[in-house]
Homo-oligomer: A and B are copies of this chain.
Amino acid sequence: MTQSTSPEPARVAVSTVIFSLRRTDDSAPAELMLPLVRRTRDPFDGLWALPGGWLDPAEELEDAASRTLAETTGLSASYLEQLYAFGGVDRSPARVVSIVYWALLRADEVDAQVAAHAAQGDAPENVEWFDAASLPRLAFDHNEIVEYALWRLRSKVGYSRIAHGLLPPEFTLAELREVYESILGRRLDPANFRRQVEGSGTLFPTDRFRTGSHRPARLYRYDPDVELAERGPLTARH
């Protein structure tokens, strides 16, 4: 293990992984994507990086993540969950411990926020959305951070209602299956999927149907008693 001999104490930074399901065009399947910011200075000048920045000494961790996310991408999320603290000695030329937060944003939320910034003429620069499954070489250890976030997302989708964060309040089983397929990165058998989901007891069928070019499909809701965020006793900010 390489040990640096930096005499400087570690500095604290925050970074944010925002996942959303987006389509490049209407006929393409939705892909799990995330916004990245192109660095304009060293280290890693010109490479893409997660939104983030330094922690202000008088600022709560989650506030710092929200602020730097807004400053760099113009995006906001109603709730950021702490993902992990990355503090490897060699992840940056200086010693930096990054507290990484994450959130899921619905595509329509993203579109509305992007449109609002465009209307105000303050669209952020140097931001692009990338397919989470095929990223370029990112700055620092950010490829590894995204890989860890994807693993956590895939683990959680199996036992929690986390997919809800990517769906409107009412959705069809085909829409729910598309979310799972995007997260898991593979096709699911529609009949098996329907059976498993209906047997899980976490969904409520509604009396409403999605109509359009296909035959009408029943709309479902999640059981609101199932907790979305796994915060436990952490009700305040930490």
Contact = CB atoms under 8 A, between A and B. Distances in A.
A99 interface: yes
Nearest to A10: B12
28 contacts: A1-B60, A3-B59, A4-B58, A6-B57, A7-B57, A10-B11, A10-B12, A12-B12, A57-B95, A59-B89, A60-B88, A61-B88, A61-B97, A82-B85, A84-B234, A84-B238, A85-B85, A85-B99, A87-B99, A87-B238, A88-B237, A97-B97, A144-B238, A147-B233, A148-B234, A152-B232, A155-B230, A155-B232
Contacts of A152: 232
A234 B84 CA distance: 11
A148 to B, nearest CB: 6
A220 interface: no
Contacts of A144: 233, 238
A7 B59 CA distance: 11
Copies in the complex: 2
A17 B177 CA distance: 39
A208 to B, nearest CB: 33
A8 interface: yes
Nearest to A4: B58
**SS class, residues of chain A in contact with chain B:** loop
Give the interface size class of chain A: 35 or more
Contacts of A82: 84-85
Which 10 A-B pairs have CB atoms at the shortest separation, nearest pair first? A151-B232, A61-B87, A85-B85, A10-B12, A3-B58, A85-B99, A6-B57, A57-B95, A86-B238, A147-B233
B89 A60 contact: yes
A55 B12 contact: no
A89 B8 CA distance: 22
